[in-house]
Amino acid sequence: MKVNIYYGGRGLIEDATLYVISKLQTVLEELRVEVHRYNFYEEKNTIATLPATLKQADGIILASSLEWFGIGGYMQQFLDACWLYGDKEKISQIYMMPVVVATTYGEKEAELTLTKAWETLGGIPSAGLSAYVEEHVAFEMNQDFLNIIEKKAEMFYRTINQKQKVLPSSNNVLKASVLKPQSIELTPQESEQLSRFVSDDTYVKKQKEDIEELTAMFKQLLNDDAKPKEKSGFIDDLKQSFNPEKNFRASYMLYITDTNKKLIIEVDQEELNCYYGDKKDVDVIMKTSVESLQNIIQGKVNFQRAFMAGDITAKGNFKTLKMLDQIFKF
């Protein structure tokens, strides 16, 4: 059995949350559970990649220190990353125990927030532990409190070991009908790769620069006069590989950096129109090199993987961007 502990506090000595999760870890390890602990204040630059650590876990403990209001920024950032990049199928099999230690009012609400968040992600919540601590030394010296913490650890172990079932929750219905991520539909592997890109400051900065460049280019295109069509370049390859989709209409502008040309792709169900020139109000603007486009046409990589690798930058409707791999079969 494997259990991960995610600590969302600041790592202060007087934070009684550290004492609680330390005791929980001790009891679980005595029960021969493999425990890994992740401190968000140490991992703050790579929190977006931490959902990948859920892969091998049977259960997790989300430990939050409540110092003034809510579960804290680090914990919220981790839960956001789980929603955007986590493997939902794996999360649905993971038991979660919330732990909230407060030095102010609101520990019950924070515990409920963690439970609702995990249910919305599709995971399995279990009985949590919350406490108000006025003086951390007195709290840590209290034997009765220690016994409660140890019992909670044992109960969490039994919950996972026996794979206890839970009653249905309305949060799961809400997720299915209302809460849908506004992002491209990605495989768990692609989501994990994207989370690494998001944590890479250099990559993010480069993406922002590309977006700004595309924005400036788009503004310029709006003021340019239409240019004559050209029958050269990749047009024949696109027409030969065209795979019509019923009821699908879209327009794309592909800016090829090497040649400084704009390839317009217009799709209207079974009709395809490709030409070099300008077009206003396209659904997707893309930017790539001749080499990258050749790799796509030769079938070495598809549009989506080229986008994930950074060989293509894009602006517009990402669902429409993803359709390129369905309407062109290279």
Mean pLDDT (whole number) for 121-137: 95
At residue 142, does pLDDT exceed 70?
Answer: yes
116 pLDDT higher than 80? yes
| 19 has pLDDT over 80 | yes
- Give 151-189 pLDDT, tens digit per residue: 999 999 999 999 999 888 777 666 666 665 555 566 666
pLDDT (tens digit per residue) in 196-255: 666 666 666 777 777 887 877 777 666 544 343 333 468 888 998 999 998 999 999 999
List the domain boundaries for the chain. 2-177, 200-327
Q: Rounded distance, CA 299 to CA 289, Å?
A: 16
Alpha-carbon gap, residue 283 to 60, rounded angstroms: 42
CA distance 303 to 143: 61
Q: Does 132 have pLDDT greater than 60? A: yes
Region 10-36 average pLDDT: 96
Q: Which DSSP string corresponds to 254-314?
A: EEETTTTEEEEEEEETTEEEEEES--SS-SEEEEE-HHHHHHHHTTSS-HHHHHHTTSSEE
The token duo for 266 is 């217009």
Tell the CATH topology of 200-327.
Answer: Nonspecific Lipid-transfer Protein; Chain A (3.30.1050)
In this structure, what token pair is assigned to residue 267? 């799709």
Share the mean pLDDT of the chain.
Answer: 87
- pLDDT grade for 109, boundaries at 50, 70 and 90: very high
Average pLDDT of span 48-61 = 94
Rounded to two decimals, what is the model's pTM? 0.59
| Share of residues in the chain with pLDDT > 90 (%) | 60
Q: Could you report the per-residue pLDDT of 256-307, keeping only the tens digit for each?
A: 988 888 999 999 999 999 999 988 889 999 999 999 999 998 889 999 888 8
- Using the predicted structure, report yes or no on whether residue 49 has a pLDDT greater than 60: yes
**Beta-strand relationship, 2-7 and 34-39:** parallel
Class of domain 2-177: alpha beta
pLDDT at 230: 38
